[in-house]
């Protein structure tokens, strides 16, 4: 596919052209945060830093109307009530401008949950079909980033329709999907000199002083997690600082838990789907009063286990990573950066590996003693 070029000074004009056909969500500065807002003519998108929130909300809205309903009494028999349902309107064609590769990769992982487990979620499917991702490659890693741990990278194309590579006051636009190719077809082609400059910048990013720190060996992380699963003392230590506020799950590009509620107003109402968080004590509270994950230790264990054990065990055969594993974590680092008490999922993963090795050594030592 032909690479295109966008000058920084022309970005707003390009976004305005896209906005004629799509609802464009673009990142803008609001105080210290970078947030997505519906594009308007007086807006200049800010692509210099990853957005504070994930682009996930375009595919899985934080609050979504599934359908509305009305009750009507049968006038011939008032003991009978009819129910009339009205489906939600189809989603508006949407273009997300500015997500990073870790966000776009999150779209691929959400597909696993809502499209590829045998039961297709019609609401998600409709949003997915109506949404394009124009992502921005990273030129450096922040100190909370660890996409290279989980199979991603600064210019990973997974989940993107178009990937923009920042370069010399502009962007080289490379289409990843046919829809992306159509989107940028009218943009000027990138010159050979521009493409050569991009190759030079990518090569420089791989030099020892610029390349990311070495990735830990995670091929045994699922087994290691299961080895320490029952060690509640370990998980209690890991969760000691956690406030169960849920900010990690609300900012995560792959968390997919939700709750469904009905809101009634007299004889009419609506059914809503809203985000939920497994870090909440109410998440698994049963009607009987029993809660199978009654402590923060249990809930944090579930969150880490889903990302690094349950998901890779389920989808390992379909994984495209060199390690053969696909994690339900893109390494965006938002959960680390925004945690009010500095819980670091990277350290938890490393501690799981260390604890599992420690337990294996103890078991081997005990067997050795028995053999004597």
Buried residues in 304-313 as b, exposed as e (16+ CB within 10 A): bbbbbbebbe
Confidence of residue 209 (pLDDT cuts 50, 70, 90): low
CA–CA distances in Å: residue 302 to residues 30, 112, 292, 305, 325: 34, 19, 11, 5, 19
The whole-number average pLDDT for the span 20-38 is: 95
> How many residues are recorded in the chain?
372
Where is 84: in which H helix or E strand?
Answer: strand 77-87
Q: What is the pLDDT of residues 175-186, one digit of tens each?
A: 999 999 999 999
- List the domain boundaries for the chain: 4-371
Q: What is the pLDDT of residues 140-150, one digit of tens each?
A: 889 999 999 99
Where is 271: in which H helix or E strand?
Answer: strand 268-275
Confidence of residue 76 (pLDDT cuts 50, 70, 90): confident
Question: What global pTM score does this model have?
Answer: 0.89
Q: What is the pLDDT of residues 211-257, one digit of tens each?
A: 567 789 999 999 999 999 999 999 999 999 999 999 999 999 999 99
């Amino acid at each position: 596919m032909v690479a295109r070029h966008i000058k920084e000074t022309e970005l707003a004009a390009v976004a305005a052209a896209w906005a004629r056909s799509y609802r464009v969500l673009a990142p803008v500065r609001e105080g210290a945060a970078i947030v997505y807002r519906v594009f308007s003519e007086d807006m200049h998108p800010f692509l210099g830093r990853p957005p504070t929130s994930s682009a996930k909300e375009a595919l899985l809205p934080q609050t979504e109307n599934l359908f509305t309903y009305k009750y009507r009494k049968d006038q011939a028999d008032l003991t009978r009530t009819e129910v009339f349902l009205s489906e939600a309107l189809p989603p508006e064609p949407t273009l997300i401008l500015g997500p990073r590769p870790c966000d776009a990769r999150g779209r691929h992982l959400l597909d696993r949950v809502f499209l590829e487990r045998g039961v297709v979620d019609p609401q998600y499917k409709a949003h997915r079909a109506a949404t394009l991702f124009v992502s921005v490659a990273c030129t450096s890693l922040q100190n909370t980033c660890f996409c290279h741990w989980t199979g991603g990278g600064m210019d990973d194309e997974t989940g993107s329709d178009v990937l923009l590579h920042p370069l010399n006051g502009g962007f080289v636009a490379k289409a990843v999907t046919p829809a992306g190719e159509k989107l940028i077809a009218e943009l000027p082609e990138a010159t050979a000199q521009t493409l050569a400059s991009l190759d030079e910048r990518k090569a420089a990013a791989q030099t020892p002083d610029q390349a990311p720190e070495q990735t830990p060996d995670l091929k045994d992380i699922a087994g290691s997690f299961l080895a320490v699963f029952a060690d509640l003392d370990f998980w209690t230590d890991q969760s000691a600082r956690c406030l169960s506020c849920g900010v990690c799950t609300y900012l995560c590009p792959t968390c997919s838990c939700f709750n469904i509620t009905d809101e009634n107003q007299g004889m009419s109402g609506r059914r809503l789907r809203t985000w939920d968080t497994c870090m909440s004590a109410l998440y698994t509270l049963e009607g009987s009063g029993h809660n199978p994950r009654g402590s923060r230790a249990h809930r944090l264990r579930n969150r880490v286990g889903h990302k690094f054990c349950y998901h890779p065990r389920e989808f390992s055969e379909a994984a495209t990573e060199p390690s053969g594993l696909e994690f339900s974590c893109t390494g965006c680092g938002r959960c680390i950066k925004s945690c009010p008490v500095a819980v670091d999922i990277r350290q938890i993963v490393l501690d799981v590996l260390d604890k599992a090795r420690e337990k294996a050594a103890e078991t081997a030592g005990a067997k050795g003693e028995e053999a004597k």
